[in-house]
Amino acid sequence: MHDMTRCVVKPDVREEGFASLTTPVHRATTIVFDTAEAFASRGERGLDGYSYGLHGTPTTRALEARINALEGGFHTFLAPSGQAANAFAMLAVLKPGQKVLITESCYPPVRDFALQDLARQSITVDFFDPLSLQDLEARLTPETGLVWCESPGSTTMEVQDIPAIAALAHRSGALVACDNTWATPLLFKPLAHGADIVTEALTKYFSGTSDILMGSISVREPALAHALRSQFGRYGVGVSPDDASHILRSMESMPLRLAHAGRVAQELAARFAADDLVEAVLLPSRAECPGHDVWQRDFAGVSGLFSVLFRPQAVAHVAPALDGLSTFAIGASWGGSRSLMAPQPIREDRTSPRWQHTRSALRISTGLEDPRDLMADVDALLERIRERAGG
């Protein structure tokens, strides 16, 4: 073998005896085969087989397997973001002429995707009251192919009765999908409660550091898995093994991070609720939160995301008062190490008579800072709002 060839050909390095606790990062585009016959039959390698780097490496397969074990699914797929997971889950199961029913409390980009993109494919889009089984049942038709849930809603925090929704949908011949990003499978397992598909924004608690975009889709049945695998291939969608490695590492601390965030969120929620500037605090563990009884029945705890609704006289003063925050940062998303606050408009995304609030919510995500610093920042925020509101 000549030197030019030696520079290119991979040496045969023994791996026996190298038992690492961490998953190696496998980067690849081209996958090589021992024989021409093996290459010709590469499409028969199944969901976990390797044929081209876009379709998975041992690193991404390890992350899929770890998430799938938590979700209790048949198979899990990785997507470039949480919203990509939502979009591809819908595209995989809906056909022209069918109808999708979406909870009004959904992540706003889901609403936009359905109205802009699914509608162009001759898919009828309708929205249902997240807390009304009667409203859902009235909107179900023989054409309904999918009922889309998000429980709790990422701003208004309604906890949906997934087992009851699944029973209604399945009786009508529709599938059920649930965006489970608020809870993660550590706090709620939609597949075990009747859903057929569950999506997660791994960007949030799975990553934990606000610097990785990724999503996942887990399914309960083989037919759904094969439909998704084919679709991902046709669209040329894959994820970085380096990003997958980051999330594999972060998952090891996710139970501890999530427990801390949930505990601090409840402390801060109680502080907001005790203030006369506040009209309502939306956190599922609180009795006044819509769907609290379902949360008690089905969930294992709370995460660090909740919302605050201020009284009319205070609303105009909330946004400018945020400029004085010292520990919290102003920003979207949640689940990272840094605590966040951001005003969120709601009314324009709601049509059911149940939602009467016309004002924005202040959405709060607790991170990993010392709770005493966060509480001091909340105290100072409320004082600034009070001073602006005139006492």
pLDDT at 367: 97
Domain boundary among 248, 280, 313: 248
Helix%, strand%, coil% for the chain, nearest 5 = 40, 15, 45
Based on the fold, state whether residues 100 and 228 are members of the same structural domain.
yes
261 Cβ contact list (under 8 Å, min separation 6) = 205, 303, 304, 335, 365, 366, 367, 368
Beta strands in 129-275 (DSSP E): 144-150, 175-179, 197-201, 215-219
Domain boundary among 202, 218, 248: 248
8 Å CB contact between 23 and 59:
yes
Q: Which tokens sit at 193? A: 């409660």
Based on the fold, state whether residues 243 and 258 are members of the same structural domain.
no
Structural domain boundaries enclosing 110: 20-248
Based on the fold, state whether residues 201 and 278 are members of the same structural domain.
no
- Assigned domain for 9 exists: no
pLDDT at 25: 84
User: In CATH, what number is assigned to the domain containing residue 373?
Assistant: 3.90.1150.10
8 Å CB contact between 197 and 175:
yes
pLDDT at 265: 98
pLDDT tens, N- to C-terminus, the chain (391 residues): 887 877 788 888 887 887 888 888 888 888 787 788 877 887 777 788 777 777 889 999 999 999 999 999 999 999 999 999 999 999 999 999 999 999 999 999 999 999 999 999 999 999 999 999 999 999 999 999 999 999 999 899 999 999 999 999 999 999 999 999 999 999 999 999 999 999 999 999 999 999 999 999 999 999 999 999 999 989 999 999 999 999 999 999 999 999 999 999 999 999 999 999 999 999 999 999 999 999 999 999 999 999 999 999 999 999 999 999 999 999 989 999 999 999 988 766 666 656 666 578 999 999 999 999 999 999 999 999 999 888 6
pLDDT at 354: 60
User: In CATH, what number is assigned to the domain containing residue 43?
Assistant: 3.40.640.10
CA dist 303 and 315 (Å) reads: 26
Based on the fold, state whether residues 333 and 271 are members of the same structural domain.
yes
Based on the fold, state whether residues 173 and 240 are members of the same structural domain.
yes
- Assigned domain for 14 exists: no
Based on the fold, state whether residues 111 and 66 are members of the same structural domain.
yes
Domain count along the chain: 2
CA dist 296 and 19 (Å) reads: 42
Residue 74 neighbours by CB distance under 10 Å: 16
